[in-house]
Amino acid sequence: MSIPNIELNDGHSIPQLGFGVFQIHPRETAQAVSEALEVGYRHIDTAEMYGNEREVGEAIRDSGLDRAEVYVTSKLNNGFHRPDDAREAFDRTLAELGFDYVDLFLIHWPLPTLYDGDFVSTWRTLEEFNQHGSARSIGLSNFQVAHMERLAAETDTVPAANQIELHPYFLNEEVRSYNEAHGIATEAWSPLAQGEVLDDPVITAIAERVGRTPAQVVLRWHIQRGNVVFPKSVTRERIRENFEVFDFDLAPGDIEDINGLDKGESGRIGPNPDRFAYVPS
Ligand code: NAD
């Protein structure tokens, strides 16, 4: 099955479907990533915060694939927004992965209540990584519209992507449509709401009618709306199932019905980025 690429605003492109490794224990990560690569995934989403960059790098090297064949994203951890700290953290990410570049590097959270509200100098530091070629593309994660407006006013580089919580219970439409209007790719994290949406009667009814699983229906909904997704699983059958979403279509009415499940703010499963201030010790 071939995975479509989404063109980014900087001339690079990203496979629309990838494999996420949040909450996969480092001991299980190499195995899970190896299985994903065997199934055909060519895009892995990790982060310094997940503690498993090393195992991601190992699995990619052990696969025998060329580095250039696998798209790798990592993210700047929350404790390292100051420029010097960000440079060190980025070097650590490359060393852990064992690569001399990442395809995409993101600021994991804006942390507007920390660092005197300064995420602008952090973004300028990512611009350096991009200019050096060690981050082929740079982007954001969990940035709200006001945060992106500030970057647009004060810096030169339009982010290539913004990775945000987005699933049928939380469409996050204000941020998604800002991304779209400004040529910023939307990456949907927790695309399955960590499994919460999979027994929703609207989803299960569509799944039954089209002869697919609820997870495949939800992932297909994301794909048809243009989101980049990287569902997480450590179960081989599910890793495969989540990959098989390019040989069927949902009807426009099905897409509308799933859109209708949006619960607004109360549908969030993760923290609100305007208030989130967690820094790992
Ligand atoms: P997800 O929505 O991908 O859900 C994963 C869970 O859904 C699994 O643990 C499993 O319980 C269930 N599941 C997966 N496939 C299934 C299937 N086929 N059938 C039934 N159940 C299934 O949640 P996630 O891991 O939180 O998000 C995916 C990725 O997004 C992460 O691994 C990470 O890469 C990224 N992420 C980023 C941020 C951020 O702040 N940038 C936050 C959370 C997640």
Closest residue by Cα to residue 228 from 1, 2, 6, 3: 6
Q: Residue 198: is it exposed, middle or buried by C-beta count within 10 angstroms (0-12/13-18/19+)?
A: middle
Average pLDDT over residues 187-198: 98
How far apart are alpha carbons 47 and 182 in whole angstroms?
25
List, for residues 33-84, the tens digit of each pLDDT value.
Answer: 999 999 999 999 999 999 999 999 999 999 999 999 999 999 999 999 999 9
User: 2 pLDDT band (50/70/90 cuts)?
Assistant: confident
pLDDT digit string, tens, across residues 247-279: 999 999 999 999 999 999 999 999 999 999 999
| Token pair of 204 as six digits | 């299960």
pLDDT above 70: percentage of residues in the chain = 100
pLDDT above 80 for 239: yes
Band of residue 155 on the pLDDT scale cut at 50, 70, 90: very high
How confident is the model at residue 1, as a pLDDT? 72
Give yes or no: 278 in active site. no
Distance from residue 73's CA to the centre of ligand 1 (Å): 15
Binding site membership of 203 for ligand 1 (Cβ less than 6 Å): no
Q: Taking residues 184-205, report their average pLDDT.
A: 98
Cβ(21) to ligand 1 under 6 A? yes
Long-range contacts: 180-184, Cβ < 8 Å, 24+? 180/226, 182/148, 182/152, 182/158, 183/9, 183/158, 184/9, 184/139, 184/140, 184/148, 184/158, 184/159, 184/160
Q: Is the CB of 164 under 6 A from ligand 1?
A: no
Question: pTM of this prediction?
Answer: 0.98
Distance in Å, CA 7 to ligand 1 centroid: 24
- Is the Cβ–Cβ distance between 4 and 16 less than 8 Å? yes
Of the pLDDT bands very low, low, confident and very high (cuts 50, 70, 90), residue 32 is very high
Q: Is 204 in the pocket of ligand 1 (CB under 6 A)?
A: no
* Model confidence pLDDT, tens digit, residues 158-186: 999 999 999 999 999 999 999 999 999 99
Ligand 1 pocket mutation, candidates 76, 189, 278, criterion most atoms within 8 A of CB:
189
Terminus-to-terminus CA distance in the chain, angstroms? 42
Q: Does ligand 1 come within 6 angstroms of the Cβ of 112? A: no
